[in-house]
């Protein structure tokens, strides 16, 4: 049941269309291992960030993303404010895969971990105009 809720949250991530020209701005430091986040998308329901640490630019790399809800969601009976996803990128091949998702009880990946689960994802090319495409573009430094 909880796995289905995490999968539903992942669908939310892939189903949100990103603006064609998202402005990348500095964001507050997170409680996770990533020292800072770069805001890349916001609408009335969520704010989406990409880890501002070592972005790969070319070749293979790893990155964290953070989805923060503006109103907490109840997933599996627990309140969730944010989800941190770990992704692997192949910048030169324009491919990405989400490896896991961690749900947090507080904003910006803070507070107790509600649940961590491996992602049910495979290597794919992100669609242009999607959040995946935006993440790839920001992380890999591509136009």
Q: Are 34 and 63 in contact (CB under 8 A)?
A: no
**15, 46, 76, 121, 134 from 57: Cα distances, Å:** 25, 26, 37, 22, 14
Q: CA–CA separation, 104 vs 136, rounded Å?
A: 24
- Choosing among 2.60.34.10, 3.50.50.60, 2.40.128.710, 3.20.20.450, the CATH entry for 2-140 is 2.40.128.710
Distances (CA, A) of 35 to 51, 53, 66: 8, 7, 13
Residues 133-142 have pLDDT tens digits of 999 888 888 7
**What is the per-residue pLDDT for 96?**
94
pLDDT of residue 41: 93
Break the chain into its structural domains and give their ranges.
Answer: 2-140
pLDDT band at residue 3, thresholds of 50, 70 and 90? Answer: low
| pLDDT tens for each residue of 23-66 | 333 344 344 454 589 999 999 999 999 998 767 777 888 999 99
Q: What is the pLDDT of residues 105-117, one digit of tens each?
A: 999 999 999 999 9
């Amino acid at each position: 049941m909880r796995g289905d809720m995490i999968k539903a949250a992942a669908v939310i991530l892939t189903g949100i269309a990103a603006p064609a020209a998202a402005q990348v701005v500095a964001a507050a430091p997170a409680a996770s291992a990533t020292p800072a986040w770069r805001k890349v998308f916001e609408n009335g329901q969520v704010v989406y960030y990409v880890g501002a640490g070592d972005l790969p630019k070319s070749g293979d790399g790893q990155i964290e993303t953070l989805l923060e809800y503006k109103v907490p969601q109840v997933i599996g009976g627990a309140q969730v404010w944010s989800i941190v996803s770990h992704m692997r990128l192949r910048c030169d091949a324009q491919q990405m895969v989400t490896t896991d998702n961690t749900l947090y009880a507080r904003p910006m990946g803070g507070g107790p971990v509600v649940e961590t689960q491996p992602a049910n994802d495979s290597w794919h090319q992100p669609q242009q105009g999607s959040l995946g495409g935006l993440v790839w573009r920001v992380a890999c430094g591509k136009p």
